[in-house]
A and B are shown apart, each in its own frame.
Chain A
Amino acid sequence: DAKTTQPNSMESNEEEPVHLPCNHSTISGTDYIHWYRQLPSQGPEYVIHGLTSNVNNRMASLAIAEDRKSSTLILHRATLRDAAVYYCILSGNTGKLIFGQGTTLQVKP
């Protein structure tokens, strides 16, 4: 299973954009890049996913490097409710998700 590398923690100010990086140098051509987040005492919440092209949805944007060896989750205006652990996950031909330690995002008012 291909692995991802994320910073352990990041800080952001409320109402400012947040860029969460993820490195996945061993990604294969069929691996999708998924982002989930998890608030304390809750199940993981799907955020966004993509294969090759940048993706946007109501929650966030996903920017994928041209060589696909890295990606960035972009929260356009952080709110206090965005404070969570963010997981960057690669999944291939099956839906099995291999979670790492993720990035703990703190949002300061």
Chain B
Amino acid sequence: DAGVTQSPTHLIKTRGQQVTLRCSPISGHKSVSWYQQVLGQGPQFIFQYYEKEERGRGNFPDRFSARQFPNYSSELNVNALLLGDSALYLCASSFSWTPPLYTQYFGPGTRLTVL
């Protein structure tokens, strides 16, 4: 079975631009979460969606937004890019967003570089 897929794998943008990252969850999973991982640190939680509704939001500015589609895929949008947004963006999927079926499985990530 296919795991979590993310596109693109790599992306280079300049400051002030906007970017959209995409994620397809494991078949049957209805929850998608997004994380940002800056080099040398652990992943930081950005958003969690379940059945198209936002279920959790981390401490990130309003420049970050996301949505989940009826097929449970998801997009993460970042506006007005800053150099500090350069990171590995990870998507994770799970059956649900509450116990016990909320174990998350991660994709390979999208490497975003902001110049």
Number of interface residues of A (CB under 8 A): 23
CA distance A30 to B100 in the complex (A): 11
Is the beta-carbon distance between A46 and B42 smaller than 8 angstroms?
A: no
Q: Which of B25-52 contact A (CB under 8 A)?
A: 31, 33, 35, 41-45, 48
The answer to whether A91 has its CB under 8 Å from any CB of chain B is: yes
Interface size class of B (residues with CB under 8 A): 20 to 34
Our pick among A32, A91, A95, A101 for the contact of B42 (Cβ within 8 Å) is: A101
Is the beta-carbon distance between A95 and B98 smaller than 8 angstroms?
A: yes
Main secondary structure of the interface of A (DSSP, over half): loop
Knowing A42-B108, A43-B90 are in contact, say whether A49-B103 is a contact too (CB < 8 A): yes
The answer to whether B56 has its CB under 8 Å from any CB of chain A is: yes
Is the beta-carbon distance between B104 and A32 smaller than 8 angstroms?
A: no
What B residues does A30 contact at CB under 8 A?
Answer: 99
- B38 CB to closest chain A CB, in angstroms? 11
